[in-house]
Chain A
């Protein structure tokens, strides 16, 4: 695989070159001890050693609210709306890359989500080997500490001022060489990158599943009647925060609004979540998951089984955002999967 070595002092020139073509977003430190992706401008300090981006990166492909159609009530005509800003995400951790490639697969299956892909296709992703891990993450134990696709470049910091950069796509290589030629990677830098990635894996294993993650769908299949669903759901606020911060949750609701002249209007989608009571509410005021415990079980069935049954990977990448976002402290997939595994391991 083609790889280059990039020095820290070459970065400002590269970022300046990239920002002429795209909106560049990088991990930055918020002033309250958290990190998130923010727009890069000359002088922006990139938080290479961030633990996790506070908010999920799905917002770049599925904004919280997005127009889909504009319509005219006088001519009874409508036309679709597609937005595709050129975006470059620099410094995305592998588990978040994995979340994006999972969304890619799900948005493509059945009816292709064209709004999603118009944004996705205009996005460049530069992955970064993690150098820190948040207290709630467990990504290494669900196979999300390293990815082999879904990125245009894969950056690994191998020294105080040196990066090893693997090429993932032609577009990535073109952008990497945008400010002039770079030194090809050496055997030494490749080895240093490999070690950094092993270090990341060990770091990511501080919290972990107590069994091979591939067993999860079987564990979930045996847990439909587990008492855990009721125990946990009693404390559920039904706030949907576990959904909204989840990098792989993509459900949305569609609504319409007309302008004040009552002549034109727009149809838009907004984030929705299966933990909200109204999510499964249908015509006639029927709710096919009326109990909090049913909604709670559904979310973990999605993460541990239903998504796996579709695409062969867990619907959870172990980022730990939901664990932190749940104020009731009941949304910990690692704890839930471990508990259910423990409870069901002796069953046939």
Chain B
């Protein structure tokens, strides 16, 4: 899957006004990424001095349709989502995918491996026939995405950094290497040395290996890093003696829209 953020042309960044207007939108997701932004607290107040928020329903009332940067959370899971995201895209000069659901499809893509009748029934119960629904997908499957801030949830400091980079007219940067690099920087003992499964070997860094540092393993929520070697990763899992079904389940958890989930 192509997950590299698109390089902004100088033309696009020039189009940003002195005090860019920003708006937040959400599709299928839990709005946890916007909560992370609200959790920036004092840092958020400093950032807000440089932007004008026209829409952010988690922290303010009112909505404006005149915006430069759209931060979009959530996956596209229904045909009508497509129309709405295309309209947002047409109004925004810069569109940023916020969080795993928007950037890589994330957990919503679990349904893509189930029969439609089954997940309709689980989600909508007796009203299963009332709603339109289709395979979950990331924003980039439907519209052009200029930058992404991956993760479930996002790292709020990474959000702050990307916003600052946009404000300074720079191309937002994301690590193009796996979590292993940050895990070693943190001095963690490798999960494989402890006989545990871990997706850090294929997952894009940028989280500071927070889950491993806290004693868990990497779940892959930031998506594949651009040159992830999935064949090698599967051989590593095989040699470590993990059940193939278990490995597949872990890979589908967040990475269902990528070739890792197959």
Instruction: Name A residues whose Cβ lies closer than 8 Å to a Cβ of B.
Output: 30, 32, 34, 36, 54-55, 59, 64-65, 234-241, 244-245, 255, 257-262, 270-271, 273, 276-278, 292, 324-325, 327-329
> Smallest distance from the beta carbon of B70 to chain A beta carbons, Å?
21
Flag if A271 contacts B185 (CB, 8 Å). yes
> Smallest distance from the beta carbon of B168 to chain A beta carbons, Å?
7
Please tell me if B49 contacts chain A, counting CB pairs below 8 Å: yes
The residues of A that contact B202 with a CB separation of less than 8 Å are 237
Flag if B185 contacts A244 (CB, 8 Å). yes
Q: Say what secondary structure dominates the interface of chain A.
A: loop
Q: Which of B58-66, B83-91, B230-238 is the contact stretch?
A: B230-238
Flag if A327 contacts B189 (CB, 8 Å). no
Partner of B168, one of A262, A324, A327: A262
Chain B 42-56, CB-CB to A under 8 Å as 1, else 0, gives: 010011011000000
Distance, CA A267 to CA B66, complexed state (A): 35
Flag if A238 contacts B229 (CB, 8 Å). yes
Distance, CA A242 to CA B112, complexed state (A): 37
Distance, CA A36 to CA B187, complexed state (A): 9
Q: Which of B115-123, B126-134, B174-182 is the contact stretch?
A: B174-182
The residues of A that contact B184 with a CB separation of less than 8 Å are 55, 64, 240-241, 244-245, 271, 325
Q: Given A55-B187, A278-B176, A327-B201, is A237 in contact with B236 using a C-beta cutoff of 8 Å?
A: yes
Q: What interface size band does chain B fall in? A: 35 or more
Q: Given A260-B160, A327-B192, is A236 in contact with B232 using a C-beta cutoff of 8 Å?
A: yes
Could you list some 14 contacts between A and B, CB below 8 A?
A: A234-B231, A236-B232, A237-B202, A237-B232, A237-B233, A239-B180, A239-B201, A244-B184, A257-B164, A261-B49, A262-B168, A270-B185, A327-B201, A328-B235
Flag if B232 contacts A234 (CB, 8 Å). yes
By beta carbon, the residue of chain B nearest A30 is: B189
The residues of A that contact B227 with a CB separation of less than 8 Å are 238, 277
Flag if B164 contacts A59 (CB, 8 Å). no
Flag if A258 contacts B181 (CB, 8 Å). no
By beta carbon, the residue of chain A nearest B190 is: A325
Please tell me if B110 contacts chain A, counting CB pairs below 8 Å: no
> Smallest distance from the beta carbon of A243 to chain B beta carbons, Å?
9
Distance, CA A238 to CA B229, complexed state (A): 8
The residues of B that contact A30 with a CB separation of less than 8 Å are 189
Other A-B pairs beyond A236-B232, A257-B164, A328-B232, 18, CB < 8 Å: A32-B194, A55-B187, A234-B232, A237-B180, A237-B229, A238-B229, A239-B200, A240-B178, A241-B181, A244-B181, A244-B185, A258-B168, A260-B46, A260-B160, A261-B46, A271-B184, A277-B176, A277-B227
